[in-house]
Structures are given as structure tokens and as C-alpha cells.
């Protein structure tokens, strides 16, 4: 059976899976600076003999299986959360490999490359066209720009984001609004100009009131102030203050309601304090959901079960948000296991590389024609 041959081919490439992961991880990919890793991944797909396209954003797309019929896009994001200059060298200790970004999401990108390599020796015959993508812009303020561009230009019939914890399936997209809120005023000396409005004091007032906005537990809705800065000196009235806000919900209507309430509150404080203000949306991830009975989700659950995993569904904010919001069948399939994501102590459980690769190919082999039907 072709699936068993491919599973065996991956088993034989266990060492190459780790080697590939190390190579991808050690090419830095800070937010908005993914070009070096993009070129590395594109070169590797070309070395394996696949047709490759790299777009203006540095998304990499390789055609793994050309076929008539629907198109499945499997996408693993290239970028990490870590700034330029971060030491991304990999350290292996026992069954773990340590490095910033190694699990999120370098290992998933490496798995796509190694599945493509094994495919050359043991290809599956599929009733659909299969594309592998390594895309930019998933983390931080990237605002899913990479997958937005791919969905708009490739027009896939179904999308699988390959990211996160092996065993988990995200089929409910958590929407978010990310905002840069800024107050500006005349400033002045803390003693000589006492009484003038302080942008920093006003921001404190807004932050306090913002965090008191009631949000429903169902549908789950959250709010957060991620960063806050302002002022120039201990003895100066702050001319400017800014905060970055994060608002999320699994329900688009609740998210929009929270956003409008926060915006109204922000400008009310500006008027009250006599300051200018800007409320700039810097991230807009739409919500969406794939029904629990959809064949795409059922195939993912079956693939995990056949690999000995207990499938776990959960809401999340991933590259799957974009296709789901457009009505395209999509989910996020977990790739590996480990811990410390988004920290300098991030690590990967090395055996999960093979497990993640084999789960992915089981899923590809199990996809029925109905998986491409819109919900």
C-alpha cells in the first residue's frame, strides 16, 4: 500500500527530520524579516525537484502533487516571534532540542520539507492537487498577511495550517482586534506646568476603564493591554503615551461590540482630559468555525487516532482564521510536542518530528472528496 510505503520512508528519514529542523531553525526569521528563511526553504524544495514559487511577501509555495480537481493547501508559517540578533543555535540534550522558535514553527516547516523528500521515494496517488507552503506573517503584528495573500491568489478549495501541539486540532478560529492607542498633549514641567493634561495619566485612566469592560464567558471573549509606554522624564508632564490592546472572541459580533466600546471609551477619555488621540487597528483576525461534522475535521481526527493519539479540538488564532472566515474548509493540525513556546527556553521533543510527519501523511491519504465541500 502506498501509504505504508510513505510511512516507512519517513521512518527511514528520522535523522534527516532532526537535521532539517536544525537547519531551518538556525536561519533567523524575525517578524517582517523572513526573507532569509524563505530563500532557504525555497532552495530546499527546488533541490528536491519540486516546482516552487516565491511571491513578493516571501511566501514559498511548492507543488507536491499535481492533479485535476480541488486544491489542498498545507501551510506552515516561517516567522518566529524573536527579534533580530536572537541566538537561534540549536542545542540537543537527550530527546530534546532547544532553541528559540524551534517548535513554533520551524519544526513544522522542516516536516513539510522531509515529507516532500520522502514523497519522491513513495508518492501517494491523490484525487486532489497538493500544495505545500511556508508562509510569512503569522506571529505578532504580522496580521496573517502571508496566508491572506496565498488564499486570495491561489484560491484553494481547502486549507490546513500545520502548527501547534501534536494531537490538537483547531477548527474554531478566535478572532482578534489589535490596536495601537495613542494620546498626545502639550506636555510641560511637572511643577511649573502642573495642571496641564498628561498623556500618561490619561492613558492610565483609559487602561483602568478598559479593563473593567464586562465581557461574556460564552462565547468566550477576552481583552488585554499588552504594552504601555509614555513620557520622557520623572519631572516632565508626558506629551505622549501609547498602549497596545488585544481583544479576542470566538464570535465576530461580540468582538466587534467590544472593539466599538473600547474605541468609544478611548475618545471619551481624550475629550475629558483635553488631549488628542488615535485608535489605530494594527491587527484584524476574523473569527470563523468549521462544523464538528465536516469531513475535513473527521479526517484529521481519524489520522491522529490511527497514530495512537487522542484527538483534542480547541479554539485558537492561527492561519486557518483567514480561509474559515471566507467559508473555505480549514483547520489547524498540530505538528509537534515540546514546551516554552515564545521564550528563549523553547524546546522540541525530537520523537514528535516523526510522529507529526506520519500524522500529516495519514491525514492526506484519508481526505475524502467531501472534505472540499464548503460548510
Q: Are 31 and 139 in contact (CB under 8 A)?
A: yes
All cell numbers assigned to 86 = 536572537
For 66-98, write each residue's pLDDT tens digit: 999 999 999 999 999 999 999 999 999 999 999
pLDDT band at 1 (very low <50, low <70, confident <90, very high): low
Task: Using the predicted structure, report yes or no on whether residue 171 has a pLDDT greater than 90.
Answer: yes
- Determine the pLDDT at residue 209: 98
Query: What residue spans define the domains of the chain?
Result: 2-174+287-372, 175-285
Provide the 10 A C-beta neighbour count for residue 28: 19
Q: Are 320 and 59 in contact (CB under 8 A)?
A: no
Q: Which residues of 110-127 are buried (b: 16+ CB within 10 A; e: fewer)?
A: bbbbbbbbbbeebebebe
- Determine the pLDDT at residue 375: 72
Which is nearest to 176 in space by CA: 250, 278, 267? Answer: 250
CATH code at 175-285: 3.30.70.360
Q: E strands within 195-272?
A: 221-230, 236-237, 240-249
The helix/strand count (H/E) of the chain reads as 10, 19
Task: Using the predicted structure, report yes or no on whether residue 220 has a pLDDT greater than 80.
Answer: yes
pLDDT band at 11 (very low <50, low <70, confident <90, very high): very high
**Edge-to-edge strand list for the sheet holding 347-349:** 91-93, 96-98, 347-349, 338-339
Percent of the chain clearing pLDDT 70 (strictly above): 100
CATH code at 2-174+287-372: 3.40.630.10
Task: Using the predicted structure, report yes or no on whether residue 203 has a pLDDT greater than 90.
Answer: yes
Mean pLDDT of 168-196: 97
- Determine the pLDDT at residue 170: 98
The whole-angstrom distance between residue 197's C-alpha and the CA centroid of its chain comes to 40
What's the Cα-to-Cα distance from 109 to each of 35, 75, 116, rounded to whole Å? Answer: 15, 8, 11
Q: Are 328 and 173 in contact (CB under 8 A)?
A: no
Do the strands 168-173 and 288-289 form a parallel or antiparallel pair, or are they unpaired? antiparallel
- Determine the pLDDT at residue 195: 96
pLDDT band at 299 (very low <50, low <70, confident <90, very high): very high
Task: Using the predicted structure, report yes or no on whether residue 165 has a pLDDT greater than 70.
Answer: yes
Residue with cell 490592546: 245
Report the C-alpha gap between 292 and 300 in whole angstroms. Answer: 11
Q: Give percent helix, percent strand, percent coil of the chain, each to the nearest 5.
A: 40, 30, 35
Contacts of 2 (CB under 8 A, 6+ apart): 122, 123, 124, 125, 365
- Determine the pLDDT at residue 263: 98
Q: Are 280 and 182 in contact (CB under 8 A)?
A: yes
Mean pLDDT of 281-298: 96
- Determine the pLDDT at residue 140: 87
* Secondary structure (DSSP) of 127-141: SSEEEEEEES--SGG
- Determine the pLDDT at residue 113: 98
Amino acid at each position: 500500500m502506498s501509504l505504508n510505503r510513505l510511512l516507512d520512508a519517513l521512518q527511514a528519514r528520522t535523522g534527516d527530520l532532526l537535521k532539517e529542523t536544525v537547519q531551518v531553525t538556525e536561519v533567523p526569521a524575525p517578524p517582517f524579516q523572513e526573507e532569509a528563511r524563505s530563500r532557504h526553504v525555497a532552495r530546499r524544495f527546488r533541490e528536491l525537484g519540486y516546482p516552487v514559487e516565491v511571491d513578493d511577501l516571501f511566501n514559498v509555495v511548492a507543488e507536491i502533487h499535481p492533479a485535476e480537481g480541488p486544491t489542498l493547501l498545507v501551510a506552515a508559517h516561517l516567522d518566529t516571534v524573536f527579534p533580530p540578533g536572537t541566538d537561534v543555535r540549536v542545542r540537543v540534550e537527550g530527546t530534546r532540542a532547544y532553541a528559540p522558535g524551534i517548535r513554533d514553527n520551524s519544526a513544522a516547516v522542516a516536516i513539510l520539507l522531509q515529507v516532500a523528500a520522502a514523497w519522491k521515494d513513495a508518492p501517494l496517488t491523490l484525487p486532489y492537487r497538493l500544495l505545500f507552503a511556508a508562509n510569512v506573517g503569522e506571529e505578532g503584528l504580522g496580521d496573517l498577511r502571508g496566508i491572506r495573500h496565498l488564499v486570495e491568489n491561489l484560491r484553494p478549495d481547502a486549507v490546513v495550517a500545520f502548527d501547534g501541539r501534536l494531537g490538537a486540532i483547531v477548527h474554531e478560529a478566535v478572532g482578534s482586534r489589535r490596536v495601537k492607542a495613542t494620546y498626545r498633549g502639550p506636555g510641560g514641567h511637572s511643577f511649573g506646568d502642573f495642571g496641564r493634561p498628561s498623556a500618561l495619566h490619561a492613558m492610565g485612566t483609559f487602561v483602568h476603564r478598559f479593563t473593567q469592560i464586562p465581557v461574556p464567558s460564552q462565547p468566550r471573549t477576552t481583552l488585554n493591554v499588552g504594552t504601555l509606554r509614555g513620557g520622557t522624564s520623572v519631572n516632565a508632564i508626558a506629551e505622549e503615551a501609547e498602549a497596545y490592546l488585544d481583544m479576542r472572541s470566538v464570535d465576530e459580533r461580540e468582538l466587534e461590540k467590544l472593539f466599538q466600546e473600547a474605541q468609544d471609551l478611548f475618545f471619551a477619555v481624550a475629550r475629558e482630559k483635553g488631549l488628542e488621540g488615535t485608535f489605530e487597528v494594527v491587527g484584524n483576525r476574523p473569527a470563523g468555525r468549521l462544523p464538528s461534522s465536516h469531513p475535513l475535521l473527521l479526517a484529521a481526527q481519524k489520522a491522529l487516532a490511527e497514530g495512537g493519539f487522542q484527538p483534542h479540538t480547541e479554539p485558537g488564532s492561527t492561519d486557518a482564521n483567514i480561509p474559515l472566515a471566507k467559508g473555505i474548509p480549514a483547520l489547524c493540525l498540530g505538528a509537534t510536542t515540546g514546551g516554552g513556546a515564545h521564550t528563549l527556553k523553547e524546546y522540541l521533543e525530537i520523537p514528535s518530528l516523526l510522529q507529526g510527519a506520519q500524522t500529516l501523511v495519514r491525514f492526506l491519504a484519508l481526505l475524502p472528496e467531501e472534505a472540499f465541500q464548503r460548510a
